[in-house]
Amino acid sequence: MKNDKRDILLHLYGELPQSTDLRSLLKDEELRDEHAALSEAKFRLDHRAKERPSQDVLDHIIAAAAAGTDEHLTLKRRDRKPIARTHSLKKILIPALSLAAAILFGVGMGWIGG
């Protein structure tokens, strides 16, 4: 299956559908190794010590945000134009309407023919 790794991740986060059996996924040695590695990584991330930045760092960030400046950004990057959206309504609407028309045509033919 092409979604085996996705199913392993869903299992680790408790979101695996009931129809999918983890045992059948883990019969494959490669997937079993992948499950072990992902399980260990998730365990380490879940039990990682939570660290806060020092108060000096937080104060610096808040002061920079209040002043509206950030020395890490260059002037060229600060002044760049907004990025245009690449997808338009036509790319979504035309296939959706085509599918709806095909379904209506099929239902209509079934209604007339039956």
Nearest to 13 by CA among 48, 39, 33: 39
The confidence band for 20, taking pLDDT boundaries of 50, 70 and 90, is low
If phi over 0 gives left and psi between -120 and 50 gives alpha, with beta otherwise, what is residue 14?
left
**pLDDT score, position 87:** 66
The confidence band for 76, taking pLDDT boundaries of 50, 70 and 90, is low
Longest dimension (CA), the chain: 77
**95 vs 19, higher pLDDT:** 95
12 close to 38: Cβ distance less than 8 angstroms: yes
Q: Return the domain boundaries, the chain.
A: 4-46
Structure tokens at 46: 């879940």
4 close to 28: Cβ distance less than 8 angstroms: yes
CB atoms under 10 Å from CB of 39, counted, come to: 13
